[in-house]
Amino acid sequence: MAVITVREALNQAINEEMARDENVFIIGEEVAEYNGAYKISEGLLDKYGKRRVVDTPISESSFTGLSIGAAMSGLRPIVEYMSFNFSLVAMDQIISNIAKMYYMTGGMYNIPIVLRGCNGAAAQVSSQHSHNMESFFAHMPGLNVISCSDAADSKGLLKAAIRSNDPVIFLENEMLYGTSGEVPDEEYVIPIGKGRLVRSGDDVTIIAHSRMMIYAKEAAAELEKMGIQVDLIDPRTLKPLDYPLISESVKKTNRVVIVEEGHYWCGIGSQIAEFIYRDLFDYLDSQIIRVAQSENPMPYAKGLEAASLPSTKKIIEAVQQVTYTGAPS
């Protein structure tokens, strides 16, 4: 298998799907002449031309609306937001139209559209550019939400998203674009709704996604030195969620820590915890602990930013609490 970056994996997925299906096109700010703000669309303009690689004005609402019409007409748009913070400008289009069109038309129009771009905090981009958006979109019926942590999953699930007849919110993380991993050379597509067991252990389940998987892996390695074996789960798809995978792990370990970059209140972790408490309560030997972003707008100052976000240290402390191995209660 080749070792490539997440950026390259996403580029490959889009390129392969555009080659496979002439109805697939990409649209957004700077995706064409500039090769994308983060170079995800590099080389696509030269290969596919301006009809299928479309630069837009700085107007998320307008090019999102245009893409809805294109999807209703039989095309498969990939909409790139330079940052998912800017999708807030198009929220009426996404929530009132994309998510509901299939229902409102009695199944006459599905919307095979992918909305993708950077999600969450980068490095000192302050409060207006650090929103973690997955809970916003997962709350709405009609939208699938994907957030991957490595190159192989990013490629396989983006291909699945592009082929899906349902609208997909595909959330990337700027801090992961340059990270590398093995990606299969052959054609592959990862089913939407299937999580992944990253490592196996018997003592505690850690559930994390996107950039938080980096910290979770670091925490699992440190905890192993302490004699604590971690069952580490990457949901990959946040909606629909792989409940059977989580159930199997919780029944084995009886202890759970949930990690997310988003805010604690009404976060993705709340939904996962509710499911575990509702369906798996008798298997728990400890309370569930969630590690999430603190309840404040993201500060610009580097130290305050770090204090606001989850970290390896915070995950280790949470595991020590649920395993009763020395951390303060």
The catalytic residue positions are 60, 129
What gap in Å lies between CA 282 and CA 290, rounded to an integer? 19
Query: Between the CA atoms of 216, 222, 223 and 225, what dihedral angle is there, to the nearest 10 degrees?
Result: 150
Q: Which two tokens stand for residue 184?
A: 């299969």
Q: Let me know: does 25 contact 76? Beta carbons within 8 Å.
A: yes
Residue 160, CA distances (Å) to 20, 47, 144, 189 in order: 13, 22, 11, 6
Q: What single DSSP character describes residue 74?
A: T
Q: What single DSSP character describes residue 168?
A: E
CB neighbours of 31 closer than 8 A, spacing ≥ 6?
40, 41, 44, 53, 54, 55, 80
Residue 86, CA distances (Å) to 7, 74, 127, 168 in order: 20, 26, 13, 17
What gap in Å lies between CA 259 and CA 325, rounded to an integer? 19
Within a 10 A sphere around the Cβ of 47, how many other Cβ atoms?
11
Within a 10 A sphere around the Cβ of 12, how many other Cβ atoms?
18
Q: Let me know: does 237 contact 192? Beta carbons within 8 Å.
A: yes
What gap in Å lies between CA 277 and CA 288, rounded to an integer? 9
Show the DSSP H helices in 170-288 as ranges.
212-225, 243-253, 268-279
